[in-house]
Amino acid sequence: QSVLTQPPSVSEAPRQRVTISCSGSSSNIGNNAVHWYQQFPGEAPKLLIYYDDLLPSGVSDRFSGSKSGTSASLAISGLQSEDEADYFCAAWDDTLNSYVFGTGTKVTVL
Protein backbone atom coordinates (compact mmCIF):
# COMPACT_ATOMS: atom_id res chain seq x y z
CA GLN A 1 0.00 0.00 0.00
CA SER A 2 1.69 3.12 -1.31
CA VAL A 3 2.03 6.07 1.03
CA LEU A 4 2.87 8.74 -1.54
CA THR A 5 0.10 9.85 -3.89
CA GLN A 6 0.59 10.31 -7.62
CA PRO A 7 -1.90 10.74 -10.47
CA PRO A 8 -2.53 7.37 -12.16
CA SER A 9 -1.81 8.72 -15.61
CA VAL A 10 -0.85 11.77 -17.61
CA SER A 11 -0.81 12.20 -21.37
CA GLU A 12 0.38 14.88 -23.73
CA ALA A 13 1.41 15.37 -27.30
CA PRO A 14 5.01 15.06 -28.48
CA ARG A 15 7.30 18.01 -27.71
CA GLN A 16 4.97 19.20 -24.96
CA ARG A 17 5.62 19.25 -21.21
CA VAL A 18 4.06 17.10 -18.51
CA THR A 19 4.31 17.33 -14.77
CA ILE A 20 3.79 14.49 -12.31
CA SER A 21 3.00 15.30 -8.70
CA CYS A 22 3.93 13.27 -5.63
CA SER A 23 2.14 14.13 -2.41
CA GLY A 24 3.33 12.97 1.00
CA SER A 25 3.61 14.20 4.55
CA SER A 26 6.02 15.79 7.00
CA SER A 27 7.43 12.40 7.95
CA ASN A 28 8.58 11.57 4.44
CA ILE A 29 8.79 14.22 1.69
CA GLY A 30 8.66 17.07 4.19
CA ASN A 31 11.81 15.89 5.95
CA ASN A 32 13.72 13.70 3.49
CA ALA A 33 14.98 13.66 -0.05
CA VAL A 34 12.72 12.52 -2.87
CA HIS A 35 13.96 10.21 -5.59
CA TRP A 36 12.25 9.38 -8.88
CA TYR A 37 12.35 6.18 -10.92
CA GLN A 38 11.37 5.32 -14.48
CA GLN A 39 10.10 1.84 -15.30
CA PHE A 40 9.40 0.27 -18.68
CA PRO A 41 7.15 -2.81 -18.94
CA GLY A 42 8.93 -5.97 -17.91
CA GLU A 43 11.99 -4.11 -16.64
CA ALA A 44 13.31 -3.07 -13.25
CA PRO A 45 12.88 0.56 -12.19
CA LYS A 46 15.76 2.85 -13.06
CA LEU A 47 16.92 5.90 -11.13
CA LEU A 48 15.82 9.12 -12.84
CA ILE A 49 16.18 11.91 -10.25
CA TYR A 50 17.88 11.87 -6.84
CA TYR A 51 18.02 14.31 -3.94
CA ASP A 52 14.85 16.06 -5.16
CA ASP A 53 16.31 17.61 -8.31
CA LEU A 54 19.62 16.01 -9.33
CA LEU A 55 20.11 14.06 -12.55
CA PRO A 56 22.28 10.95 -12.62
CA SER A 57 24.86 10.79 -15.35
CA GLY A 58 23.30 9.75 -18.64
CA VAL A 59 19.77 10.96 -17.87
CA SER A 60 18.38 13.49 -20.33
CA ASP A 61 18.11 17.06 -19.08
CA ARG A 62 14.54 17.05 -20.36
CA PHE A 63 13.78 15.55 -16.96
CA SER A 64 13.71 17.78 -13.90
CA GLY A 65 12.59 17.49 -10.29
CA SER A 66 11.45 19.90 -7.63
CA LYS A 67 10.10 19.83 -4.10
CA SER A 68 8.09 22.17 -1.93
CA GLY A 69 6.91 21.30 1.56
CA THR A 70 5.34 17.85 1.51
CA SER A 71 5.01 17.59 -2.26
CA ALA A 72 7.42 16.91 -5.08
CA SER A 73 7.14 17.07 -8.85
CA LEU A 74 8.74 15.51 -11.87
CA ALA A 75 8.62 17.38 -15.15
CA ILE A 76 9.33 16.05 -18.60
CA SER A 77 9.83 18.66 -21.29
CA GLY A 78 10.01 18.08 -25.02
CA LEU A 79 8.03 14.87 -24.59
CA GLN A 80 9.14 11.98 -26.80
CA SER A 81 7.62 8.58 -27.53
CA GLU A 82 10.52 6.94 -25.68
CA ASP A 83 9.33 8.63 -22.48
CA GLU A 84 6.26 6.39 -22.35
CA ALA A 85 6.78 4.54 -19.08
CA ASP A 86 5.69 4.37 -15.46
CA TYR A 87 7.20 6.87 -13.03
CA PHE A 88 7.48 6.46 -9.26
CA CYS A 89 8.56 8.76 -6.45
CA ALA A 90 10.14 7.47 -3.25
CA ALA A 91 11.40 8.79 0.08
CA TRP A 92 12.40 7.60 3.51
CA ASP A 93 9.63 7.85 6.11
CA ASP A 94 10.80 8.78 9.63
CA THR A 95 7.60 7.55 11.32
CA LEU A 96 7.39 4.19 9.57
CA ASN A 97 11.20 3.76 9.57
CA SER A 98 10.80 2.56 6.05
CA TYR A 99 11.11 3.66 2.47
CA VAL A 100 7.78 4.60 0.95
CA PHE A 101 6.85 4.73 -2.71
CA GLY A 102 4.37 6.61 -4.81
CA THR A 103 1.40 4.94 -6.44
CA GLY A 104 2.99 5.39 -9.85
CA THR A 105 2.06 7.45 -12.92
CA LYS A 106 1.80 6.13 -16.43
CA VAL A 107 2.94 8.65 -19.04
CA THR A 108 1.38 8.35 -22.49
CA VAL A 109 2.59 10.29 -25.49
CA LEU A 110 -0.39 11.03 -27.73
Partner 1 sequence: QVQLQQSGPGLVKPSQTLSLTCAISGDSVSSNGAAWNWIRQSPSRGLEWLGRTYYRSRWHTDYAISVKSRITINSDTSKNQFSLHLTSVTPEDTAVYYCTRVGGNLGNWFDPWGQGTTVIVSS
Q: List interacting residues with partner 1 (CB under 8 A).
A: 1-2, 32-33, 35, 37, 43-47, 50-51, 56, 88, 90-92, 96-101, 103-104
Nearest to partner 1 of 5, 16 (CB atom): 5
- Residue closer to partner 1 by CB (options 12, 86) is 86
Q: In the complex, what is the shortest distance from the CB of residue 45 to partner 1, in angstroms, rounded to a whole number?
A: 6
Helices H, strands E: what count in the chain? 0, 9
Euclidean distance between the first and the last CA atom of the chain, given in angstroms as a whole number: 30
CB of 70 to partner 1, least distance (A): 16
Q: Are 79 and 15 in contact (CB under 8 A)?
A: yes
Cα 16 from Cα 103, distance rounded (Å): 24
